[in-house]
Structure 1
Amino acid sequence: MLANAGVASRRVAENLIVEGRVRVNGEVVTELGSRIDPTTDLVDVDGTAIQLDPSKRYVMLNKPTGVFSTMRDERGRPDLQRFTNEWPERLFNVGRLDAETSGLLLLTNDGELSHVLAHPSFGVTKVYIAKVDGRVTAQTIATLTRGIELEDGAIAADKARLLSSSTDGGGSLIELTLHSGRNRIVRRMMDAVGHPVVDLVRRQFGPLHLGTLPAGRARELTKVERGALLTLARPAPSGPSQVLPQDQEPRRDDDPHSAGSDQET
């Protein structure tokens, strides 16, 4: 099981089991040769989830500006399909970035994981770098973290950091950390404090970091990244499942300006 998943050699995998470091569906397994169903059972080693189903694909895309977050745009605008030709599986995007926002977008054929991560109640943390008009002050940063009132309710950044601020009208660079999936939330927050967004990049989605991946390029997640992502999406062993009923599934409209879960930022 673990050897086939690429976790360790068969001998090392047996030692992990004997040492009680392997859990199946939240229960420690110490018996060698225990059978599991890779399509339904959840396995972790030292608390890190293991991918057992080789049919599941997880791809990180650095979405360029001008591309709409849909696999097939009915109006013929640039969409995500061109970035998935390398993989035979039918991939789809987890959440959205608006056409003028670039950065990290997760593509997968794992419907259950996508459902959990994209649902607003799950609150996956996202980190953005925004270039904005004007000179942002420490008081503005404090306002963003303290909270502001928008037309659809109050919102506060989990974290906000001023990276640079020009004194000659060149604008400011800020880092915002949010778990909200509200429509165009970063742009609306910055508009509300008087600093419209000029350029916006999502650098982080949950445990995934964009790193040096060039704009317009996609790559499969590493084993470590897959483990971190699957661990995030799985329920705690002693707690209730985070997976919500299917009738609460977020909308997947092709209109990038529609309301819904994790739509645009």
Structure 2
Amino acid sequence: MGTASRDGRPGHGDGRKRSSSKNMKTAGGKGQKPAGKGQKTSGQGRNQQASTRKPHRKGSRPNVESGKVRLNNAKPARHQAPRHDLVDGDGATYVSDGMRLQKVLAAAGVASRRGAEELIAAGRVEVDGQIVLEQGLRIDPNTAVIKVDGARVVVDETKQYLALNKPKGVQSTMSDEQGRRCVGDLVAERVMAGQRLFHVGRLDADTEGLLLLTNDGELAHRLMHPSYEVPKTYLATVRGQVPRGLGRRLRSGIELEDGPVTVDDFAVLEIHEGQTLLRLTLHEGRKHVVRRMLDAVGFPVQRLVRTDIGVVALGNQRPGSLRVLDSKEVGALYKAVGL
């Protein structure tokens, strides 16, 4: 079973095993040297190496269980190569100036980069006939045969960037095991036509508004990552009339069970029949964060609509409809996340 070391080289460990074995055969003629006094055995060396290896991405590792059940958004190649046609022998080839495997999968629209890492960790990805379990293998995407769940992945550089006005009651998933209406239903014709799409982030079923869809994995990953602080604007209808100092309180920060949250901008737009319409801008992406924040200050949300993600605005787009982002919008999103 194939693995990749921390520097992306295929093999078990640091990539020196094959060369050291060769040297031992040359020196001793028997392919093996006994461990002398004070000398570690190869098994001890591997154990020590495993314990000192740097943890993945600041202490966190891809979730293997999530990777086992994660949806595979890959578009299979039209002509699948039979398994006996795969490379026989060394398997995955390390290319020093190549692209990391998880980035290739993300660029192909299989999943976000983090999702691709989970697929790799779960043993669902193979390169040139070799299952790759560890992260960071550098490959040539133009020559490598990449498969997910046994189906070859098409590395297509054609990018799609769409804005969806998600209606209330629609799940932010591409498929739903319980048969509920989901985003995948709204883009079914595009998917059947061969477009590989996945949603950038989520909106809960009761929240309406702007949701981006793309097959550009790197852009999607950065838009969802909190470190890039891409602002998102919401219109929230709450019960009651809010006090004058609520905006200042929200800007200074509200403590939630998973940490503090602040708004970047706040405005009262309308007060009517015991309800208040608010506009809030924040760069947080935590689950139900707007609802939880307003509930914490005593104003439960009656209706929530996301109207903007960075420079992309919902405008007058009808619920359930799609529109293609223009080049200025795509360029501004790239600029916002440093691409």
Output the TM-score relative to the length of structure 2.
Answer: 0.52
Q: Indicate the SS of the match to 2:331.
A: helix
Tell me what 2:225 maps to. Answer: 119
Tell me what 1:177 maps to. Answer: 281
Matched, 1:199 2:303: yes
Q: What is the Cα-based RMSD across aligned positions, in Å?
A: 1.8
Q: Is the 8 A contact 2:230 2:337 kept in 1?
A: no
Matched, 1:69 2:172: yes
Tell me what 1:140 maps to. Answer: 246
Q: Indicate the SS of the match to 1:138.
A: coil
1:99, distance to aligned residue in structure 2 (A): 0.3
Q: Percent identity?
A: 50
Q: Is the 8 A contact 1:123 1:181 kept in 2?
A: no
The whole-number CA distance in structure 1 between the counterparts of 2:253 and 2:314 is: 27
Where is the helix percentage greater, Structure 1 or Structure 2?
2
Structure 2 counterpart of 1:114, one-letter code: A
Structure 2 counterpart of 1:55, one-letter code: T
Matches within 5 A, 1:225-240: 225-235=329-339
Structure 1 counterpart of 2:180, one-letter code: R
The whole-number CA distance in structure 2 between the counterparts of 1:120 and 1:234 is: 13
The partner residue of 1:188 within 275, 292, 303 is: 292
Q: Which has the higher contact order (CA 8 A, sep 6+)?
A: 1
Where is the strand percentage greater, Structure 1 or Structure 2?
1
The partner residue of 2:256 within 130, 135, 150 is: 150
Matched, 1:57 2:57: no
Q: Is the 8 A contact 2:175 2:185 kept in 1?
A: no
Q: Indicate the SS of the match to 1:195.
A: coil
Q: Indicate the SS of the match to 1:121.
A: helix
Off by >4 Å, runs of 4+ in structure 1: none
Matches within 5 A, 1:240-259: none
Q: Which sections of structure 1, spanning at least 5 residues, go unmatched? A: 1-38, 41-52, 236-265
The whole-number CA distance in structure 2 between the counterparts of 1:217 and 1:146 is: 37
The whole-number CA distance in structure 2 between the counterparts of 1:54 and 1:214 is: 30
1:86, distance to aligned residue in structure 2 (A): 4.2
Q: Indicate the SS of the match to 2:219.
A: helix
Output the TM-score relative to the length of structure 1.
Answer: 0.66
Greater mean deviation of Cα atoms: 106-115 or 75-84: 75-84
Rg larger in structure: 2
